[in-house]
Amino acid sequence: MPPTEIPKQAPRTDPQTLPPPTSAASPNRRKRDEMCRQYWIECVALGGEDEKRGQYGRSICQSCYDTCKVNGSWPEQVNGIPCPGGS
């Protein structure tokens, strides 16, 4: 018995469809990443990398860095734990 063919569907074109991701980072995103990376380096230098009380078992520096990349500024705290290295 031959396998049944699945009918092909037309691609969605409704407004909820997101455009494909691009590999090129915008200049603002690069600037944000560099700024967050500098704060992360300061956090590690202050010993925050040894604190494994961040989000999902990560170090506090990594959790602060992830939050910085999303929000665009180094947070005062993450989950009630201060983020070292910020100004």
For the segment 50-77, what is each residue's pLDDT rounded down to a tens digit? 767 766 678 889 999 999 998 889 999 9
Q: What percent of the chain has pLDDT over 90?
A: 31
Strands (E) located in 1-87: 77-78, 81-82
Q: Assign residue 79 a region: left if phi > 0, alpha if psi is -120 to 50, beta otherwise? A: left
Domain boundaries, the chain: 27-82
Q: DSSP letter at 82?
A: E
Tokens of 41: 């380096």
The pTM of the full predicted model, rounded to 2 decimals, is 0.65
Count CA atoms closer than 13 A to 28's CA, side-chain side. 4
pLDDT, mean over the chain:
78
Burial class (CB in 10 A: 0-12, 13-18, 19+), 76: exposed
pLDDT at residue 23 in the model? 54
